Amino acid sequence: MDRDRIRKSFLAGTSPEAYQYFGAHLTHEYGKDGVRFTVFAPHAKNVSVIGSFNNWQGYPMDRMPQGIFSIFVDHARMGDLYKYRIETQEGRLLDKADPFAFYSEQRPQTASIIWDMEDFPWQDDAWMGQRNKNYNRPLSIYEIHAGSWKFKDPKAEDLARLYNYEELAKQLIPYLKQMGYTHLEFLPLCEHPFDGSWGYQVTGYFSATSRYGDPRKLMQFVNLCHQNGIGVIFDFVPVHFVADGYALAEFDGFPLFEKAGKQERFSEWGTVLFDYTKPFVRSFVLSALDFWCEKFHADGIRYDAVSHLIYENGVHGGKLNRPGIAFLRGANAVIGQRHPEVMKIAEDSSYYLKVTAPVEYEGLGFDYKWNLGWMNDTFAYLSCEIDRRGAEREKITHSMDYFYQDLFLLPLSHDEVVHGKHAIIEKIAGNYEEKFLQLRSLYLFQVAHPGKKLSFMGNELAEFKEWDQAEPLSFSVLEYPAHGAFYKYLACLNHFYSCHPALYCDDYHPGCFQWLSCSSDTVFCFERRAENGQSLLCVVNFGRDPAVSFAVPNSGIYQKIFSTVDSEQCEKKGIRAKKTSEGYRLTIQLRPFESCIFEKKAIKRKGKLS
């Protein structure tokens, strides 16, 4: 390791590997095994390292140029606790967790832990060699909060009820395969003190939370996912960090990672905003992104609250956050070069253009952007009284008006089932039975619509209650027929998606989608095509019309191959398209809210298929 090069690039704002230099590293120096501690605290008068290896009394660290302090401790070992005791210019003493710590004490304790991140025996070469950004592959993401998917023992208290990474792997990986998901996305696993923040108020950007085990256990979890054909995406928080005094806030007695002005320092969530005008802040966050790709073999990173890095205060149309934009472009370019197969995903609620355009074309360099417009419009439509939906038709069709401006991913995420927004099934108008029928059509619409897919844990259960991180999912609802049937339906739909290239190949090619005119104002018909020649006709029904007629691209017989009512059965007989003055049309019978997918049957003629 070229320590001098990393130090210089860290200070210049260009380092993706500052974690190789700063923090606590097991090493061999002066003929002895020990730990090298290095910390950046340019405003400090003095810094000492305190820990379980010196009875928390402190060893003064050597002052190096440019605000760096370092010391080698020959009797410190892996697993020892430590902090930095910072003496400010005013003489105050601050005991701080290491910003570059690889492991941390379980809450409510706050010390950092010496840990070795090297030499994990990865066995995922086959996966790593074939993975890519999935533009022409199925991408169906199961978003999860690790602490509330299931409880090991609901009667146990606090951390004892949580599954660890090893226990999660045994249950979650078979579940993902059974349900047909291709990827798992964790809500932030960076260390955080408050369970109710769901991981979005971070204290340790290089420290996988100790709630579920040590970093090597998380590595093994990812390793097993890859061996089973499941990709892993990590949610990441680049905008703000927790204000707790033992962490990054006023780290060396001065606003180091944040702005000096108090009015500019705090976010709407009560957290502290990173100051991206500072080069070392850019290096710090860039290095954290690289760390999760390098050390945990991340297949994707989802950047939270990107609109706040595009606009000041995250308000679309307001003042551009130029340092934030510069950081995104720089970081995405570097991560793209160092980890070209890793997906960079933006959770962006603004209408800023070129989020997924390459940096060299003045884009932000993301690979995907959450389509929150599609989500909001779809729920606005489904919340309308069923008999009045005809006037709201544009809410469903509008998503394709702008779809090709960016590379969109369609989310039904955790944000939609909390804070009084209601569970997804509760957002839908209608009686109990009608809600379940429409819920099936909603998910078929998500699968059939261009763009990759994401659904939050518990959505597959069709729960009527909002998600609560303090409680496990209510898998017991599957004992009720409507919930159990929907659960099986969604698994069937996910597997159907992965088996039909027209639903995932060429998602972002304008020539592979077209709306088809339809006789009903509550039925939406469109064609999905793949360049391999497969064509599917998708009929999404959010109404009660018993029969509809819609245009088809060619003559022939069309077979229903998937239905929201009979998802496990295909019709053997097809329906012949009829020629009209305006082309060919198909007339079909539909049950209320039944949505379906058709494929043109191959007709055998004189020994040939046509």
* Active-site residue identified among 347, 416, 460, 527: 347
- CA dihedral 397→409→195→295, nearest 10 degrees, is 180
Judge contact between 403 and 526, C-beta under 8 A: no
CA 441 distance to own-chain centroid: 24
Do you find a cis peptide bond into 65, omega within 30 degrees of 0? Answer: no
Tell me if residue 406 is catalytic. Answer: no
Give the torsion sign (CA, 386, 388, 389, 390).
Answer: positive
Neighbours of 153 (CB within 10 A): 10
H-helix or E-strand spanning residue 442: helix 432-448
3 state SS of 412: strand
Integer Cα distance of 373 and 387 in angstroms: 24
- Picking from 81, 112, 304, 85, the residue whose alpha carbon sits closest to that of residue 191 is 112
**Partners of residue 95 on adjacent β-strands:** 85
| Buried b or exposed e, range 434-455, using 16+ CB within 10 angstroms | ebbbbbbbbbbbbbbbbbbbbb
Work out whether the CA dihedral 121, 125, 126, 127 comes out positive or negative.
Answer: positive
- Residue pair 238/304 in contact by the 8 Å Cβ criterion: yes
For tokens 């291709």, the residue is: 182
Residue pair 393/400 in contact (Cβ under 8 Å)? The answer is no
Catalytic residue (one of 143, 185, 304, 506): 304
Biggest alpha carbon–alpha carbon distance for the chain:
94
394 assigned to active site: no
What DSSP line would sit under 558-589, residue for residue?
A: EEEEEESSSTT---SS-EE-EEETTEEEEEEE
Distances (CA, A) of 164 to 113, 150, 152, 291, 378: 18, 11, 9, 22, 37
Asked if 161 and 153 count as a contact pair (C-beta separation under 8 A), the reply is: yes
**In 3-state terms, what secondary structure has residue 444?**
helix
Query: With the C-alpha atoms ordered 506, 507, 509, 513, is the resulting torsion angle positive or negative?
Result: positive
The total number of residues shown for the chain amounts to 610
Torsion (CA) 184, 187, 190, 194 in degrees, nearest 10: -150
In eight-state DSSP terms, residue 266 is: B
Name the CA radius of gyration of the chain, rounded.
27
Catalytic residue IDs:
304, 347
